[in-house]
Amino acid sequence: MGASLESIPLLPLFQEAKKYAEQDPNKIAVIDRTKGQSFTYRQLLGDVSATKKWLLEKAGLESTGDLEERRISFLVPNGYDYVTMQWAVWAAGGVCVPLCTTHPVKELLYTIGDSQPSLVVIHPTFEKVEAQLREHVDAIPFVTFEPLSAASEPSNLSLPPFSDSLSVDRRALMIYTSGTTSNPKGCVTTHKNITFQASSLVNAWEYSPSDHLIHVLPLHHIHGIINGLTASFLSGATVEMYPKFDPKTIWERWQDKGSSTMFFAVPTIYSRLVDYFDAHIRGTEQEAAAREGARALRLIVSGSAALPTPIKSRFLEITGQTLLERYGMTEIGMAISCGLDVEKRLDGSVGWPLPGVQVRLADKETGKIIEGVDEDGIIEVKGDNVFLEYWNRPEATAKEFTADGWFKTGDVARRAANGAYYIQGRASVDLIKTGGYKVSALEVERKMLGLDSVQEVAVVGVPDDEWGQRVAAIVKQRPGTAPLNLDDLRRQLKEEMAPYKVPTILRVVDAIERNAMGKVNKKDLLKKYWPDA
């Protein structure tokens, strides 16, 4: 990618990274477990500079030195290469469109087609996927990312020059929503939004340069990008990155007591950690070290889905850790969080508004602001954390805001007398939260109706202690087709959708009840087929 150093704009994130690189040339920013290498803040800034130059050349904009908010899609695995790619796009003045490493080709093509990037950057890890994408994308150039290696003497590396060339009001990141009521939308945030979201967490959760985060979350998602990467780097912490979550690896890692301080995950991960402990560690020689190691972490956070009380209680029994719960979404980052003090981690609550974030409740039908306590209302949010726009969808953007500028989340909550919020669920039953992901029941239904054997279908979320909800499909089969079973259904749908969206429960019925308007009452279906849930 070239040896000469391009200037890096003094965006807040880069300014802080420069400070840590100058204070300690050996300060580690990223430990990449796939590569088995560590990378300093100093090397990170140098690699970002070189990658910026490479991006501008590939985009044909080396003479201007600015991507001018052009979108750059990239498919890069979790690790140092991802961080460098993300920062290089920002340094060049572009907008990051990270692609999900587990999505099937059809979903990747949708994201690329909708965002219309100037470049699609593919890591060699995804060489086979690249070949399939290229078959369907003609007008957008593809380029291959060259994997990076740790320098032998990182402290001797020179820092690149810095400039004040970019405004924090520039568009910076486009993350796609789950497509609850329509196709997924590109949610655009600015550098100002990103910095505010991360700084708010740094303030509330007290990140510091002494922190060491074990990072296992996907990086096409707000949780992994902002909570995991941006807030950590803004505070000079070290991020140890793994390609995916494995309970055995995490328990072994925690037994190195005191070598890590933070862990962020979704409820499904904590369920798997508990199950692994009970099956493989409890009663063995490792038990004491595992318990003590987990207890030594200063902060363990659960989010992206409701945390079932049984999982929270079992994790507390094993580790002595009361999981901290918070509430956020793609459009707003994190908005509400329980406190660092254990006394402020209330069971069933997501806590209080984060620093600088305004939160209110409004009546779903009238829009009237709810001032009292213990009343259900739609959560509305205002502040510098709130996104700029849905890409190329001005009407959809305007629809999600009130006349006085508050974002309508679509989630229902109650506020207690102490000001803490308790999430009651989505205003619509068509959003299923499973394993930390949001799944659109309508999207799954659309895909299933494309199968020859499916005549009618209703998709619902069945409550589950491990997953939060499981995706369940109630199907009226098309006459004359071969009998439908769950294994065949899942195999067909995995070619169309991400694995977490594919139903894990199937009920084949003679008819799906509808009202006079032809609509299905999904609450009635849940009561009929899963009365105990």
Distance (Å, rounded) from C-alpha 22 to C-alpha 13?
Answer: 14
Q: What is the share, in percent, of the chain residues with pLDDT greater than 90?
A: 80
Question: Count of alpha carbons within 13 Å of 282, Cβ hemisphere only?
Answer: 12
Rg (CA), the chain: 23
Give the residue-averaged pLDDT of 194-199. 98
Structure tokens at 381: 């949010």
Query: DSSP string spanning 270-304?
Result: HHHHHHHIIIIITTSTTHHHHHHHHHT-SEEEE-S
Q: At 496, is the pLDDT very low, low, confident or very high (cuts 50, 70, 90)?
A: confident
For residue 181, what pLDDT is reported?
47
Strand order in the sheet with 186-190: 142-144, 119-122, 71-75, 95-98, 171-176, 186-190, 389-390
Could you tell me the pLDDT band of residue 521, with boundaries at 50, 70 and 90?
confident
What does the pLDDT look like over 230-256, one tens digit per residue?
999 999 999 999 999 999 999 999 999
Give me the phi and psi of 343, to 5 degrees please: -65, -20
Q: Would you say residue 354 lies in a domain?
A: no
Q: Are 79 and 32 in contact (CB under 8 A)?
A: yes
- Do the domain assignments include residue 266? no
| Proportion of the chain in helix, strand, coil states, percent, rounded to 5 | 35, 25, 40
Does 313 fall in a domain? no
User: Is 423 inside any structural domain?
Assistant: no
Mean pLDDT of all residues in 373-402: 96
Positive/negative CA dihedral, 513, 514, 515, 520: positive
Provide the pLDDT for residue 439.
Answer: 83
Q: What is the pLDDT of residues 102-145, one digit of tens each?
A: 999 999 999 999 999 999 999 999 999 999 999 999 999 999 99
Structure confidence at residue 155 (pLDDT): 82
Residue 485 in this model has a pLDDT that exceeds 60 = yes
Nearest Cα neighbor of 114 from 326, 392, 530 is: 392
pLDDT for the residue numbered 2: 43
Token representation of residue 527: 């009561």
User: Which stretches of 303-388 are assigned E, i.e. beta strand?
Assistant: 324-329, 333-337, 352-353, 358-362, 377-382
In the DSSP assignment, the letter for residue 501 is: G
Choosing from 112, 146, 166, the residue where a domain stops is 166
**Poorest-confidence range of 50-59, 265-274, 512-521?**
512-521
Average pLDDT of 198-227?
Answer: 97
Q: Is 393 helix (H, G, I), strand (E, B) or coil?
A: coil
Distance of CA 231 to the CA centre of its chain: 14
Which of 17, 16, 56 has the alpha carbon at shortest distance from 40? 17
pLDDT tens per residue across span 343-354: 999 988 999 999
Give the model confidence (pLDDT) of 425-480 as tens digits.
Answer: 777 677 788 999 878 777 888 788 888 898 888 999 999 989 999 999 999 998 89
CATH number of 446's domain: 3.30.300.30
What is the three-state SS of 504-531? CEEEEECCCCCCCCCCCCHHHHHHHHCC
Q: How many CA atoms lie within 13 A of 521 on its CB side?
A: 9
264 assigned to some structural domain? no
181-185, 271-275, 443-447 — which is least confidently predicted? 181-185
Count of other CB atoms within 10 angstroms of residue 500: 18
Q: From residue 461, give the alpha-carbon distance in Å to each of 193, 337, 429, 475.
A: 32, 25, 8, 14
| Model confidence, pTM | 0.85
The stretch 34-38 carries a mean pLDDT of 98
Q: Give me the domain span that covers residue 70.
A: 8-18+25-166
Look at 27-31, 343-347, 401-405, 520-524 and tell me which has the smallest mean pLDDT.
520-524
DSSP code, position 227: I
Cα–Cα distance, 57 to 254 (Å, whole number): 43
Question: Tell me: the pLDDT tens digits for 305-361?
Answer: 777 777 899 999 999 999 999 999 999 999 999 999 999 999 889 999 999 999 999
The mean predicted confidence, pLDDT, of the chain is 93
- Asked which of 118, 149, 166 is the last residue of a domain, the reply is 166
DSSP 164: -
Q: How far apart are CA 160 and CA 92, in angstroms?
A: 14
What pLDDT is attached to residue 286?
96
The answer to whether residue 111 is domain-embedded is yes
What is the count of structural domains for the chain?
A: 2
Of 56, 243, 58, 37, the C-alpha closest to 151 is 37
- C-alpha to C-alpha distance for 325 and 267, rounded to whole angstroms: 10
Count of residues making up the chain: 533
Query: Considering the domain boundaries, does residue 361 fall inside one?
Result: no
How is residue 404 written in tokens? 């006085």
Query: What is the distance between the alpha carbons of residues 170 and 192, in angstroms, rounded to a whole number?
Result: 8
pLDDT in tens, 73-102: 999 999 999 999 999 999 999 999 999 999
Unique residue bearing structure tokens 């939308």: 185
The candidate with the shortest Cα–Cα distance to 333, out of 174, 423, 226, 204, is 226
Predicted confidence band of residue 182 (pLDDT cuts 50, 70, 90): low
Q: Would 442 be classed as within a structural domain?
A: yes
pLDDT, average across residues 293-300: 98
Range in 13-17, 254-258, 265-269, 306-310 the model is least confident about: 306-310
Task: Choose the final residue of a domain: 146, 166, 186.
Answer: 166
Burial class (CB in 10 A: 0-12, 13-18, 19+), 102: exposed
Tokens of 506: 């199937």
SS (H, E, C) 23-68: HCCCCEEEEECCCCEEEEHHHHHHHHHHHHHHHHHHCCCCCCCCCC
Cα-flanking dihedrals φ and ψ of residue 105, to 5°?
-55, -40
Domain of 46, CATH number, reads 3.40.50.12780
The one-letter code for the residue type at 153 is E
